[in-house]
């Protein structure tokens, strides 16, 4: 496949019907193809549990995993060359409709996952709150004074809730969630999530509810206790970091780690963003508010697009007041 055949790629989402979901994505213009709850929409995914296929252009119908095999670093960039050795697409992009609370859970880091989960990646993630009902909350970290011994005893005695740190959230908030963070997304929240390409979750508490089979969903207490970072004591929300303001465009850094960097790009109507993919990294742009074109291809919220690493120059034009999430991967060891 030649470089000049590449263009901004959109994908057909993979939908997940976990018990905590709802139908709220319909309010955002999404067509949900079957009845019942939809908890997650995997927007760009190359995981064995969900693989998106290209929706637009000459590559329509091609799974992202086939693109990765054919294009290699031309698709994902030299900064993510390690992913080719693991035959994995590096990132996973989701929308989450938390109509009911998710379980209290934690994700492992790479070292633990590769040792105990058959070579799977660890899972660091970042959330952007797209909608929050009044009084909406997240659980993030533990309360002051919580030790591993106290927490394990609380699991055994059904008192976990006494040690969970709750955080009020509203639309526009962002939360960086490193591997090892004890967390739960509570009800009444719609979230965009950008994460490592992993689907490992260790539950420690599931609100004493039953799954669709009428039985409690399994917990993973021992593994969770191995990986929970008990130094994350009552963390708060962090404000975005202003990068630049120029010609109707404001760039803010939301989350930066060795796995990905995520910016919020705010564009005034009629403004133009000029960028270039030079081969080092793909870029994933998520349009979360407004209307815009990328290389003259029209997009509207909520929609994610993958710009291949060797795409070259690209132009984004805002047709209205517009907000994007921009994700890219920096050079290894640059942190």
The tokens describing 61, both together, are 């119908």
Model pLDDT, residue 335: 60
Model pLDDT, residue 241: 97
- Tokens 């740190």 -> residue: 165
pLDDT at 34 exceeding the cut of 80: no
pLDDT at 46 exceeding the cut of 50: yes
Q: Which domains does the chain have, with CATH numbers?
A: 3-227 (2.60.120.10), 241-328 (2.60.120.10)
Model pLDDT, residue 47: 96
Cα 245 to Cα 252: distance, rounded to the nearest angstrom: 9
Confidence of residue 334 (pLDDT cuts 50, 70, 90): low
The tokens describing 128, both together, are 């952007």
- What letter does residue 35 receive in the DSSP assignment? S
Mean pLDDT computed over 165-192: 97
pTM: 0.95
- DSSP letter string, 232-298: -BS----PPEEEEEETTEEEEEEEE-SS-EEEEEEE-TT-EEEEEE-SS--EEEEEEESEEEETTEE
The separation between the first and the last C-alpha atoms of the chain, rounded to the nearest angstrom, is 33
| b/e map 52-89, b = 16+ CB within 10 Å | bbbeeeebeebebbebbeebbbbbbbbbbeebbeeebb
Model pLDDT, residue 332: 86
Half-sphere exposure of 221 (CA within 13 A, CB side): 12
Cα 48 to Cα 208: distance, rounded to the nearest angstrom: 29
Model pLDDT, residue 3: 47
The tokens describing 259, both together, are 């796995």
| Cα separations in angstroms, 197 against 28, 138, 301, 316 | 25, 22, 23, 27
Catalytic annotation, residues: 203
Residue range 216-270, pLDDT digits in tens: 899 999 999 999 999 999 999 999 999 999 999 999 999 999 999 999 999 999 9
């Amino acid at each position: 496949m030649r470089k000049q055949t590449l263009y901004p790629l959109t994908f057909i989402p993979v939908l997940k019907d976990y018990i905590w979901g709802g139908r709220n994505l319909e309010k955002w213009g999404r067509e949900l193809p079957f009845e019942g709850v939809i908890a997650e929409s995997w927007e760009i995914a190359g995981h064995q549990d969900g693989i998106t296929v290209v929706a637009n252009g000459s590559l329509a119908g091609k799974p992202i995993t086939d693109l990765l095999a054919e294009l290699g670093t031309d698709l994902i960039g030299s900064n993510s060359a390690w992913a080719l050795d693991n035959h994995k697409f590096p990132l996973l992009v989701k929308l989450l409709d938390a109509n009911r609370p998710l379980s209290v859970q934690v994700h492992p880091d790479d070292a633990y996952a590769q040792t105990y989960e058959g070579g799977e990646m660890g899972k660091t993630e970042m959330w952007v709150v797209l909608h929050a009902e009044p009084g909406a909350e997240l659980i993030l970290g533990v309360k002051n004074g919580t030790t591993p011994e106290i927490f394990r005893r609380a699991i055994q005695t059904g008192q976990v809730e006494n040690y969970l740190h709750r955080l009020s959230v509203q639309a526009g908030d962002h939360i960086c969630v490193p591997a090892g963070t004890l967390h739960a997304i509570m009800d009444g929240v719609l979230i965009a999530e950008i994460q490592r390409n992993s689907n490992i979750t260790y539950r420690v508490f599931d609100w004493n509810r039953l799954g669709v089979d009428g039985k409690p969903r399994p917990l993973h207490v021992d593994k969770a206790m191995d990986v929970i970072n008990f130094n994350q004591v009552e963390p708060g929300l962090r404000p975005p970091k202003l990068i630049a303001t120029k010609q109707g465009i404001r760039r803010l850094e939301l989350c930066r780690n060795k796995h990905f960097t995520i910016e919020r790009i705010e564009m005034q109507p009629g403004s133009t963003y000029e960028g270039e993919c030079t081969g080092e990294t793909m870029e994933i742009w998520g349009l979360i508010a407004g209307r815009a074109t990328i290389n003259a291809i029209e997009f509207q919220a909520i929609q994610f697009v993958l710009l291949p690493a060797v795409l070259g120059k690209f132009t984004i034009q805002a047709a209205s007041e517009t907000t994007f999430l921009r994700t890219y991967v920096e050079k290894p060891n640059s942190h």
